[in-house]
Amino acid sequence: MKILVLGGDGYLGWPTALHLSEHGHQVAVADNFARRHYDDELGVESLVPIEPLRGRIAAWKELTGKEIGCYIGDLTDPVFTYRMIGDFRPDAVVHYAEQRAAPYSMIDRGHAIYTQSNNVLGTLNLLYAIAEIDPRIHLVKLGSIGVYGTPNIDIEEGWLDIEYNGRRDRVMFPKRPGSFYHLSKVHDAHNIEFACRIWDLRATDLNQGVVYGQQTPETARDDRLATRFDYDAVFGTVLNRFVIEAVIGHPLTVYGTGGQIRGLIDIRDTVLCIQIACENPATKGEFRVFNQMTESLSVREIAETVARAYPGEVTIENLENPRVEAPEHYYKVAHTKLVDLGLQPHLLSDTLIESLFEITKRYAHRVRPDALRPTVNWRSPSSS
């Protein structure tokens, strides 16, 4: 297949591109390097150094002989988006190209507006380009498990069968997101479902849990192929952040009591889920939803797991929760569709965490400890 990976310079986009290339697909990546600019803005950088995108691509070709195409531009530019789709003519488009951090979207009004305009309008441009150039292209869109919130009922995979006043219908599962970032994912889902319904497009929305890990078999081949490893309180995902805090002797920063439950997935499973979705496409006019997670743990349980695995003293610090969320809640999420298609999950293990400790020890000198403390407060709207 010809597969275009949007956001191909990012934490997940880059290892996804390598994985798809390794498994025989013709791959191209696209990026506008916004994620690297966020580092400049926040004064932080990936714990693991990362090469420029063209250097990464050259290293992959040197090591494997496989070519990866490259497009530099922004999805909010319709001219670029149409030209890219028309030039590469993909069978599938993997869409990671969005601002991905809930805290970043909650910094102030400007960051909220940027997140929603970048994410929603970029996806709309992409939908129009696919519809006008080749409606057979399968859109594989990275959503978020966070769009559902924490309802007091079981979370189904995207759709819900309901009965009301004696009548039945099938509707998209109700969503109650907790940030402007997650709201952008809700808007995306409705726009994509609408496009599938009226233009007969085909799309898979992957509502992904919190990703942990830094290596896949492909990125581990050479330091030049490494992907990001974020640790700061804005972009650092919870387990990765706890690992880094343990290694540098910083308390594990648990927000509130830590009773909030998160769906989790290993980065190796993320890239495999994308492969499975691409190789088993949605049908014409179908908008399908897969919940892309493999297990769930509370934030407190994640911290305790890291503390047990670390061969040294670890303390846990309960901070006032900057987010607006229930401290304890019901959480049961259906996630069987990808397993039915062949996913064999990697579940969280001490072995995986120990490998993350080793990576962190190698680059611990790059940590900026003050970046670990949360500075974005959901309860305090700001215009600047």
Q: What residue ranges define each of the domains in the chain, with the CATH number in brackets?
A: 2-372 (3.40.50.720)
Could you tell me which residues are beta bridge partners of residue 211?
Answer: 265
Task: Give the CA distances from residue 36 to residues 70, 161, 173, 293, 298, in Å, rounded to whole numbers and listed in that order.
Answer: 17, 42, 34, 27, 30
**pLDDT at position 295:** 96
**pLDDT at position 350:** 83
Profile the chain (384 residues) by mean pLDDT over runs of 10 residues: 98 98 98 98 97 98 98 98 98 98 98 98 98 98 97 97 97 97 98 98 98 96 98 95 96 97 97 98 98 97 96 96 96 98 93 91 96 95 85
Rounded CA gap, 175 and 182, in Å? 10
Rounded CA gap, 335 and 146, in Å? 14
Rounded CA gap, 205 and 164, in Å? 27
**pLDDT at position 313:** 95
**Which structure tokens are listed for 74?**
């922004």
**pLDDT at position 352:** 84
Rounded CA gap, 318 and 372, in Å? 13
Residue 73, classed as helix, strand or coil, is: coil
Could you tell me which residues are beta bridge partners of residue 261?
Answer: 298
Rounded CA gap, 25 and 5, in Å? 12
**pLDDT at position 351:** 77
Residue 282 per-residue DSSP state? P
**pLDDT at position 345:** 95
First and final C-alpha spacing in the chain: 45
Please list, residue by residue across 325-356, b when 16 or more beta carbons sit within 10 angstroms of its beta carbon and e when fewer do: eeeeeebebebebbeeeebebbebeeebbebb
Rounded CA gap, 140 and 203, in Å? 6
Residue among 298, 108, 123, 300 at smallest CA distance from 195:
123
Rounded CA gap, 376 and 91, in Å? 40
**pLDDT at position 343:** 97
Per DSSP, which regions of 53-197 are E strands? 68-72, 92-95, 138-144, 159-164, 167-172
Rounded CA gap, 32 and 76, in Å? 10
